[in-house]
Amino acid sequence: MVLDINLIKVLLPSILSFLFGICITPFLTNFLYSRKMWKKKNVQATIDGRPAPITQSLHNDEKVPVPRMGGIVIWGSVFLSAASIWIIAHVISSPIADKLEFVTRAQTWLPFFALLVGAVVGLIDDFYAVRDKYDQKGGGLSAKKRLLIVASMGLIAGWWFLTKLGMTELFVPFFGAWTVGWWIIPIVILVMIGTYAGGVIDGIDGLSGGVFASIFSAYGVIAFAQNQIDLAAFCFVIVGGVLAFLWFNIPPARFYMSDTGSMALTMALGVVAFLSNQTIVLLIIALPLVATAGSSALQLLSKKLRNGKKILLVAPLHHHFQAIGWPAYKVTMRYWIFSVICAVAGVIIALAG
């Protein structure tokens, strides 16, 4: 009976968040389109200031106006689902209703906080990006400001892990615990920055939604297997919100996730990886994010060290596949397949190790 309750506790929030996401989307869509919340022209230059003709040819911001801020569907449905369950647990006084609540200090306060910070900062960035006047790189907050915010969140998370949860070890699959002491704080900061960099995967209709759904599903399974029921519920409530977003983001996309979604998800993911004590397998479970972010870093490094010579036709990696002739739907589907394989492999390694 306890197992049945735990399963309901983990899976019910995902259904609620999906339904909330489906319900709020018409209102959000009307708001975004009525206020023309989309970029008014394509990105004109890469992050290092060089012209970006291939990137311009792959985007259609000028010809097909599609609103940003679709990530509101994800985190909005997550918070609505959590709030609904909290209300039910406090209005209906029963042992079963009490067990459904998954917002707890030990397991979900911090990831909820990270999700909220990423959502708000990303929303601000999106707002500046859709204004008529913005710089040639696409507008929004500068990369330095966003990285500073992510690093600050990592500092807060690292401090919380060390002082509140007493976390001083990292689990290495097949080798056991590795004591890092106070070094846990800079490690958290680096991981948070790394996961945030993976947010560049939001560039093709349907791509990011499928990838993030696989990643959080994997961590939900791991948390459940480790009896971290509240954390598992948090992961699956995000999956529900992501799937609701994906319902409307498949080609042709009704809106884009943009920074308010990708920043919220990546910051929450970094926290979840540490709370589940499965930070190392993040490299496997989130390999599509790692590869995509890494391709951008390597491209930039190559151009700086090799007098402008590039490794890829264009970065990130998914745009390179488009540039060599893959249709967008083929890139998306293959990323989804690869994401599921990585998620399954990561779960096996985490639980077997």
Q: Residue 313 — pLDDT band, cuts 50, 70, 90?
A: confident
Query: How many CB atoms are located within 10 Å of the residue 144 CB?
Result: 8
Amino acid 149: pLDDT: 95
Q: Tell me the per-residue pLDDT of 180-223, one tens digit each, with 9 for 90 and over.
A: 999 999 999 999 999 999 988 988 999 999 999 999 999 999 99
Which range has the worst mean pLDDT, 106-110, 137-141, 160-164, 195-199? Answer: 137-141
Reply yes or no on whether the pLDDT at 137 is more than 90: no
Which range has the worst mean pLDDT, 215-224, 310-319, 330-339? Answer: 310-319
Whole-angstrom Cα distance, residue 175 to residue 169? 12
Amino acid 1: pLDDT: 46
With contact defined as beta carbons under 8 Å apart, do 272 and 110 qualify? Answer: no
- The stretch 121-148 carries a mean pLDDT of 77
Burial per residue of 225-263, b for 16 or more beta-carbon CB atoms within 10 angstroms, e otherwise: eeebbbbbbbbbbbbbbbbbbbbbbeeebbbbbbbbbbb
Reply yes or no on whether the pLDDT at 58 is more than 70: no
With contact defined as beta carbons under 8 Å apart, do 228 and 107 qualify? Answer: yes
The total number of residues shown for the chain amounts to 353
Q: Tell me the per-residue pLDDT of 232-241, one tens digit each, with 9 for 90 and over.
A: 999 999 999 9
The parent domain of residue 302 ranges over: 2-352
Contacts of 337 (CB under 8 A, 6+ apart): none
**If DSSP codes are grouped into helix, strand and coil, which group holds residue 171?**
strand
Apex CA 135: angle with CA 134 and CA 136, to 5°? 125
Select the more confidently predicted residue: 133 or 76: 76
- The stretch 172-182 carries a mean pLDDT of 92
Amino acid 39: pLDDT: 79
Domain tally for the chain? 1
Reported pTM: 0.92
Calculate the CA 195 to chain-centre distance. Answer: 8
- The stretch 41-52 carries a mean pLDDT of 56
Q: Which of 239, 233, 196, 237 is nearest to 217 (CA)?
A: 239
Give the HSE-up count for residue 50: Cα atoms under 13 Å, Cβ half-sphere: 15
Q: Tell me the per-residue pLDDT of 251-310, one tens digit each, with 9 for 90 and over.
A: 889 999 999 999 999 999 999 999 999 999 999 999 999 999 999 899 988 888 888 788
Amino acid 11: pLDDT: 94
- The stretch 155-171 carries a mean pLDDT of 94
Amino acid 99: pLDDT: 85
Amino acid 134: pLDDT: 44
Q: Residue 136 — pLDDT band, cuts 50, 70, 90?
A: very low
Amino acid 90: pLDDT: 81
Amino acid 135: pLDDT: 43
Reply yes or no on whether the pLDDT at 63 is more than 70: no
Rounded to the nearest integer, the mean pLDDT of the chain is 89
